[in-house]
Amino acid sequence: MDRKEKPFACDVCCKSFSLKSNLITHLVTHTKEKPFTCDVCSKAFSIKANLKMHLRTHTDEKPFVCEVCTKAFSLKSSLDRHLRTHTKEKPFACDVCAKRFSEKSDLKKHFRRHTKEKPFACDACGKAFSVKSNLMMHLRTHMKEKPFTCELCNKAFIRKSDFERHSRIHTKEKRFACDVCTKRFSEKSDLKRHLLTHTKEKPFSCDVCTKAFSQKSYLKSHLVTHMNEKPYACDICNKTFSWLKCLKSHLRAHTEKEPIGLQQHLESTFTDSYEEATESMPHLL
Q: Per-residue pLDDT tens for 171-194?
A: 888 888 888 888 888 888 888 888
d(CA 213, CA 233) in angstroms, rounded, equals 28
d(CA 137, CA 122) in angstroms, rounded, equals 11
Please answer whether residues 240 and 228 qualify as being in contact, where contact means their C-beta atoms are separated by less than 8 angstroms.
Answer: no
Please report, rounded to a whole number, the percentage of residues in the chain having pLDDT higher than 70.
88
Q: Spell 170-184 as b/e; 16+ CB within 10 A means b.
A: eeeeeebeeeeeeee
Kindly report whether the global pTM for this prediction surpasses the value 0.75. no
Instruction: Please give the DSSP secondary-structure letter assigned to residue 35.
Output: -
Strand locations in 228-269 (E): 232-233, 240-241
pLDDT at 76: 87
Instruction: Tell me which amino acid residue 273 is.
Output: S
pLDDT at 83: 92
38-63 pLDDT, tens digit each: 998 989 888 888 888 888 888 888 88
**45: buried, middle or exposed (CB in 10 Å: 19+, 13-18, 0-12)?**
middle
Q: Indicate if the pLDDT at residue 139 is higher than 90.
A: no
**247: buried, middle or exposed (CB in 10 Å: 19+, 13-18, 0-12)?**
buried
Instruction: Please give the DSSP secondary-structure letter assigned to residue 272.
Output: S
d(CA 259, CA 246) in angstroms, rounded, equals 12
Q: Indicate if the pLDDT at residue 266 is higher than 50.
A: no
Please answer whether residues 248 and 255 qualify as being in contact, where contact means their C-beta atoms are separated by less than 8 angstroms.
Answer: no
